[in-house]
Structure 1
Amino acid sequence: MLRHTSPIHGVAHAQQFDPLEWEDSGDTDPAVPRQVLVVDDSRMQRRLLSANLRKWGYEVLEAESGADGLALCEKHDVSLILSDWVMPGMSGPDFCRAFRRLGQDGYGYFILLTSKGGSGEIAEGLNSGADDFLTKPVNSGELRARLRAGERVLQMQAALIDKNEIVNAALTRIETLYDALNHDLSEARHLQQSLVRETDIELPEGRIALNLTPSGHVGGDLVGQFRVNDHQIGLFSLDVSGHGVTSALMTARLAGYLSGLTPSQNMALHRLGNGEFTARDPAETVSDLNKLLLRELETEHYFTIALSIVDLKSGRMQTVQAGHPHPVLQRGDNPPVLLGDGGMPVGLIPDAPYMSFETQLKPGDRLVLHSDGITEAEAPSGEMLDDDGFGAILTAARDQDGQETLCQMLSTLRSYTGATEFSDDVSALIFDYHGPVR
C-alpha cells in the first residue's frame, strides 16, 4: 500500500497500483484526436500510458529521454506532453524549459509525472513551465481528467487564436478604411482651402488679407470677399456650428450663396434691369439665409456671420452682425473699436430680426472680421484670450500689412495656447482701406 498526495489538489489518499486498472471500459473520447508525446525512460511505463491514450482516441508519440522528446517536438505538432520527472541526462523540468524555448506556434500542455510532492518541487515544476502534475503510480481516471482539462485549455487557446485573427483582420480593414478616410479628408481640406482662392488681394482702394485655419482636416469657418460692381465689395466671416465633415459641407453650401464667381446666385446681390448688380441690405440677405436654412436645408446646424458691403468710393460700410464676434475697427493709433450689437445666429429662430448698421470708413482705417476661435482660444490655465487680448495683438501689429498681421496673430495664438493645433477653427479677414482713387 502506497500513500501519496496529488500536488494540484493537495488530497492524500491510498492507492494500490494494479496494471489491470488500465483496461479501460471503452468510453472513448469523441473529440478530434490530438498528438500526445509520452516521455519516460521506463519502457513499461510508456507502454501502459500509450495503450490507454490510444484507446481514448489520441495519437501517441514515445521518447525515452528529454533529448529524444525535443527532437520529436521539432518535427511534430505536439499539443499534449506527459513527461517523467526523473530521467537520466535531462530531467522533466529541464525538458519542459527546453520545450518552451522552441517557440512553437500553438501551445503545448505539459504534465509532469512525479513521485515528488513537496512544495519546493511543485514550485520548481511550475517555474519550469509545467501546467499540471500527476503522482506515480498514475491513476487512470485522474490521468483522463487531467488530459480533458488540458484539452479544454487548448480549445480555449485555439478559440482565442481564432478570435485574435478575426480581430486582427478587422483592425486591418479598419486601418485600410482609416487610411482612405484620412486621404479623403486631406483632399477635402485642400478643397475647403480652395474656397479662399486668394489670400492677399490688392485693390486700387485698399488691400484684403484672409486666413483660414481649420482645427482638424476640415472645419466650419469661412472668410471671403466678392465684387458687387466697380465701386462696391462684399466682405464676410461666418462660422457653422460644430466641427468636421458636416460643418464643412454646410460651409461649402453657404460659400455658394456668397460667391463672387457666380453673382447671379449670390444672395447678397440684386440684378438690375441693365444686367448689372447692386448690393442688397446685408440684413435682408441674412434674413433670407435664415429662412432658407430653416425651410430647405433640414439640418441641426446653425451659423453666425458678419457681412459687410463697402462702398470703395465713399467709404460707407453697411454691416449685419448675426451672432458672430464683433467686427473690429482700427483707426490710426486709437484703441480698436468693436462694432455691432451681437444679433441672433442664423438657422435657430424663424423670422428672427436682423438689423444693419452703418460705419464710415476713412483712409487708413483697418476692418477686421474674425471667428470666435481667436477670442475663445484658451491658455493652459483655462483663461480665454477674449476681445481685449485680440485687441492687443492687433495693436501690436498695427504697422504691419494684413498678411504679416495674420501671421503674427497665428504665432501669438500658438504661444498663448501652448499648442501647435487649435481646438477650434481660426479664421480672419483684414481690410485696409486706402480711400478712393483720385
Structure 2
Amino acid sequence: MTIRRTLIGLTGFLGLALLATVAVQISSAVEAYRRASTLVESNTARRALSEAAAVLAAERSQVYLTLQEALPPEAVVPDLPRETDQALAAAMDRLRELSPYLGDELRVFFDMPRRIRELRENAVSAQKGDQATRARVAEQWFEGMIAAIDTVEALQRDLLAEGQAADPVWTAMIEMETLSSTLLDYIYRNQARLPTLLNVGRRDPNLLDPAQRNAANTELTLRQLRDRLIADDPAVRRHLSELANSYFSSYRPVEITILQAVARDQRPARQPEDWLLEASRVLPWVERLQYDLSQRSAGRLQANLTEAAWSAARWLTLLLCGGAAVAGSIYVIQRRVLFPIEALEHAMLGLAEGKFDTPLPPATRNDEIGAMADALRVFKANAIRRKRLQDERTILHEKLEEAYGQVKADLEAAAAVQAALLPEPGQVNGVGYYGYFKPAHFIAGDTYNVFGLSDGRVIFFLIDVAGHGAPAALVSVASHYSLVQALIARKPLEGLARAVETLNDDWPENMPYFTMVLGEVDPILGKGRMVQAGHPSPLLISRAGMITALGDGGLPIGALSQVPFEEVLFDFNPGDRLFVYSDGLTEAENDSDEAFSEERLHDLILQQLHQNTPDMLAEIERTVRSWCAPRDLDDDLTMLILDAKPAKTGATHT
C-alpha cells in the first residue's frame, strides 16, 4: 500500500468516524427537542385543566349554596358558568393535540359540557320547587360536579405520568401543583358544605360526614405540600408560608368550631356569611401558590426546550465544521505532504539511478549538503504527519474528558435530587424515624419514605431495586411513585396486602423487579403490620432487648403476577424499635469475600441497645465500613429505624 493510499484512507476513516459521532449526537439532540416540545404542550394542557378544575369547583360551590339558600344574592357571580364553559373549551383545544397519549378519560372529558348543561338545567328547574326538592337536586349537582372534577384530575395525572421520567425536578414541582389543586378542591367543597350545615341547624350525617372528611383531607394535603417543598423560588416559599399561616391561624379554627358544634347538635355562633368570608380569605393564597408553581414548572420546561434547541444547533454547526475540516485536511495532505514526498521520491530515485540531472525540490541551502537537506525533508514530513495525528488524538481525548465531566455533573445533580426526595429524620404521630442512605455509586436503586395519617397511624416503606446506578435509580423513582399511588387508591377497609398485590399486578413486565417492605404502625394501639416482598426481614427490637425477625421473605414485586401477599402482625409498644434495611448491609463483603451476615448484625444491635437510635445507626454504619475496608461498598446501603416514643402525659388520640 502506498503512502498516498494510507494517508487518504486514514484521514477519510477518522473524518467519517467523527462525522458519524456528531450525527448520532444530532439525532439525540433532535429527539431531546421533540420530547421537550411534547412536554411543553402537555404542560400547557395540564395547566388548562387546572384552570378548568378551579372554575368547576367555584361554580359547584355557588350553585350548591344557591340551591341550599345559604348564599346571599349579592354574592352570586353571574358570569361564572360562562367562565366554566370557556375554561373547558380551552382545555379541550389543548387536549385534542395530545389525544394519542390519553385514554378513556378523554372521551369522558369531551362529553363533560353536555353533562354539565343537564346538571345546570336541573338546578334551574329546582329553584322553582320546594325546599326538599332543592336540597335533593343540590346534592345531585354537588356529586355530579365532583365526578367532573375527578375526570379533570385523572387527565392531569395521565399527562404527568407521560413526562415524569424526563425531569425529576419538574415532576416534583408538578406533584406540588397537583397537591395544591387537590387542596383547592377540598376547600371549595367545605366552602359549600358548612353554610348548608349552619342553615340546617341540626346534626345531619349526610352533610356532616363529608364535611369532616374534607376538613381532614385539607389538612393532610397542606402538610404533604409543605413536606414536599423543594422549589427554591422565594415567591413559592412565601405564598406557601402565607397559605399555611392563613389556614392554621384563621380558617382551620373556624372550621373546627363549626364542625364540633354541629357534631354535638348545637347551634354554632358563626353565621354562613362568617364562614364564606373565612373561605374567601384562604382561597386566594392557594390560587397564588398554584400560579407560582405553574409559572416555575413552565419556565423549567421552556428552559429545557431552549437548551435542546441550542444543543441541536451546536452539534449541527460542529457537523458542518467537521465536514469542512475533513475536506480541508485531505486538501492539505495532498498539497503539503503527498506532493512534496512524491517529488522527493522522484528526485531520490533519479539520484539513486545515477541521473544526476534529475531536478531536485527547492532547498533552503545551495551547498554540498543540499542532497542531505532533501533527504531530511522526507523525515520532517513524516514527523509532521505523526504530530498531526497525535494532535487529533489529543483533541478527541479532551472531548472524551469533557463528556465524562458532563456525565459526572449530571449524576451528581441527580443524586442531590434523589436525596432531597427522602424524608429528613423527625417524628410523626408519636413515632420517631431515622434513616441512612448511601448509594454504591452516585445514585441508588434504594428509596424509602415515612409519613403519618390523620388517624394517628404511620406508614413506612423501603424499596430496593435490582442492580444499582442510573437505571435502578429511575426504577426506584417509578416504584416509589407507583407505591404511593397504590396506597392512595386503596379503599378504606383494604389492607396493605391488597395495595401490594395491585402494585405487583400493574408493574410492567419489561421493568426490573424490586424488593420491598411496606408497613404501618399505630403507636396508640401499640400494634403494627407489614407486607414483605422478597426483602430482608425487618428486626423488631423490644424495649426488653429481644430481637425478632419479622416475615419469611415473599416474592419480589414484578417477579410473578397474580400472586397473593400476606400481612405480618406485630406489637409496637413504647420503647420498641423497628429496624428495616436493604441487603447491601448483610451482604457487604470484606477482603476475603466474607459477607457481614445477619448474625453479626444481630450481635451488633444487642451491643448497641443502650444507645439512642441515631447513635445506633451511626455505629452500624461505622462497623460495616470497617468490615469492608479498604474496599468500598459494592451495593447501595439503606437503613430505616422507627422508634415508638413514650406517650406524653394527658395525650389523647383523636
* TM-score interval (norm. to shorter): 0.5 to 0.7
Q: Deviations over 1:237-264 (max 9, x none)?
A: 11011111111111112222345xxxxx
| Change in 2 beyond 3 A, CA 1:204/1:235 | closer
Residue matched to 2:443: 218
Instruction: Report what 1:231 is aligned to.
Output: 456
Alignment of 1:81-92 (within 5 A): 82=372
CA pair 52-169 structure 1, distance change in 2 beyond 3 A: farther
> In the alignment, which residue of structure 1 is the partner of 2:389?
163
Greater strand share, structure number: 1
| Change over 3 Å in CA distance of 1:388–1:31 after alignment to 2 | closer
Indicate if the aligned counterparts of 1:33 and 1:57 stay in contact, CA closer than 8 A: no
2-side partners of 1:434 and 1:252: how far apart?
Answer: 30
Does the aligned pair in 2 maintain the 1:54–1:60 contact within 8 Å?
A: no
- Structure 1 residue 35 displacement after superposition: 12
8 Å contact kept, 1:185–1:218: yes
Pair 1:53–1:356, CA change in 2 (3 A):
farther
Match of 2:413 among 187, 211, 214: 187
Q: Distance in 1 between matches of 2:384 and 2:548?
A: 72
Offset at residue 436 of structure 1 (A) = 4.7
Q: CA distance change for structure 1 residues 287 and 160 in 2, over 3 Å: closer, same or farther?
A: farther
* Mapped partners of 1:376, 1:432: distance in 2: 25
Indicate conservation of the 8 Å contact 1:212/1:223, yes or no: no
Say if 1:354 and 1:61 are closer, same or farther in 2 by CA, change over 3 A: same
Q: 1:54 to 1:428 in 2, by over 3 A?
A: farther
Using the TM superposition, name which of 278-287 and 367-376 deviates more: 278-287
- CA-CA distance at 1:365 after TM superposition: 0.9
Maintained 8 Å contact 1:231/1:313: yes
Residue of structure 2 equivalent to 1:356: 567
Take 2:493 and 2:579, find their aligned partners in 1: how far apart are those partners?
A: 20
- 1:287 pairs, out of 490, 498, 501, with 501
Cα distance in structure 2, aligned partners of 1:214 and 1:347: 23
Whether the 8 Å CA contact 2:545–2:609 is kept in 1: the answer is: no
User: What SS does the corresponding residue of 2:391 show, helix, strand or coil?
Assistant: helix
- Distance across 1 between alignment mates of 2:371 and 2:616: 76
What is the SS of the residue equivalent to 1:229?
A: coil
Deviation at 1:400, TM superposition (A): 1.9
| Partner residue of 2:517 out of 297, 300, 306 | 306
Q: Which amino acid aligns with 2:586?
A: T
Per the alignment, do residues 387 and 161 of structure 1 end up closer, same or farther by CA in structure 2, a change over 3 Å counting?
same
Distance in 2 (CA, whole Å) between partners of 1:424 and 1:279 is 38
Q: What code does the residue aligned with 2:392 have? A: I
Report the CA distance between 1:158 and its aligned residue: 4.5
Give the paired residue count.
306
> Is 1:208 aligned with 2:433?
yes
Amino acid paired to 1:411: R
Whether contact under 8 Å (2:429, 2:456) holds in the other structure is no
Structure 1 Cα separation of the partners of residues 603 and 522 of structure 2: 28
Indicate the percent of aligned positions where both proteins have the same amino acid: 25
Matched, 1:347 2:347: no
- C-alpha displacement of 1:324: 0.4
Please give the per-residue CA displacement for 1:15-35, whole angstroms capped at 9, x wherever unaligned: xxxxxxxxxxxxxxx952269
Contact 2:464-2:515 at 8 Å conserved across structures: yes
Alpha-carbon shift at residue 232 of structure 1 (Å)? 0.8
Distance 1:182 1:292 in 2: 34
Task: Report the CA distance shift for 1:401/1:35 in structure 2 as closer, same or farther (over 3 A).
Answer: same
The answer to whether the 8 A contact 1:35-1:60 is kept is no
Go from structure 1 to structure 2 and tell me whether the alpha carbon gap of 1:360 and 1:31 turns closer, same or farther (over 3 Å shift).
Answer: closer
Amino acid across the alignment from 2:478 = R
* One-letter amino acid of the structure 2 residue matched with residue 288 of structure 1: T
Segment drifting more, 336-345 vs 405-414? 405-414
3-state SS in 2 of match to 1:256: helix
Q: What per-residue deviation string (whole Å, max 9, x for no partner) do you get for residues 101-134 of structure 1?
A: xxxxxxx976xxxxxxxxxxxxxxxxxxxxxxxx
- For structure 1, which runs of at least 5 residues remain unmatched after alignment? 1-29, 38-47, 70-79, 84-107, 111-149, 260-265, 273-277
Q: Post-superposition shift, 1:349? A: 1.1
Pair 1:223–1:252, CA change in 2 (3 A): same
Superposed displacement of residue 421, structure 1: 3.7
Q: 1:157 to 1:195 in 2, by over 3 A?
A: same
**2-structure distance, mates of 1:183, 1:258:** 29
Show the counterpart of 1:256.
481
Match of 2:472 among 220, 240, 247: 247
SS in 1 for 2:595: coil
2-structure distance, mates of 1:354, 1:281: 11
Quote the offset at 1:154 in angstroms: 6.0
Aligned with 1:208: secondary structure? Answer: strand
Written as runs of structure 1 = structure 2, the 5 A alignment for 1:324-403 is: 324-403=535-614
C-alpha distance after superposition, 1:191-243 (max 9, x if no partner)? 00011131x21235231101111111101011211223231111111101111
Three-state SS of the structure 1 residue aligned to 2:399 is: helix
Aligned-residue offset at 1:373: 0.6
One-letter amino acid of the counterpart of residue 550, structure 2: L
Structure 2 unmatched runs, 5+: 1-336, 345-350
Q: TM-score, normalised by structure 2?
A: 0.43
Q: CA deviation at 1:363?
A: 1.8
By how many angstroms is 1:165 displaced?
2.5
Question: What SS does the aligned partner of 1:237 have?
Answer: strand
Q: CA deviation at 1:318?
A: 1.2
SS of equivalent to 2:364: strand
| SS of aligned partner of 1:82 | helix
Which residue in the other structure is 1:62 paired with? 365
Counterpart amino acid of residue 312 in structure 1: P
Please tell me the root mean square deviation across aligned C-alpha atoms, in Å. 3.2
User: Distance between the aligned counterparts of 2:466 and 2:338, measured in 1?
Assistant: 61
Give the secondary-structure state (helix, strand or coil) at the position aligned to 1:267. Answer: helix
After the TM superposition, which residues 124-203 of structure 1 pair with which residues of structure 2 at under 5 Å, given as runs?
Answer: 151=378, 157-198=383-424, 200-203=425-428
Give 2:637's aligned residue.
Answer: 426
Larger-gyration structure (1/2): 1
**Taking structure 1 as reference, are residues 323 and 268 closer, same or farther at Cα in structure 2, changes over 3 Å only?**
same
2:136 equivalent in structure 1:
none
- Provide the secondary structure at the position in 2 that maps to 1:32: helix
Letter in 2 for 1:287: E
Aligned equivalents of 2:356, 2:587: Cα separation in 1: 75
More helix by share: 2
Q: Which residue of 2 aligns with 1:275?
A: none
Native 8 Å contact 2:426 2:434 kept in 1: yes
Shift of 1:170: 1.6
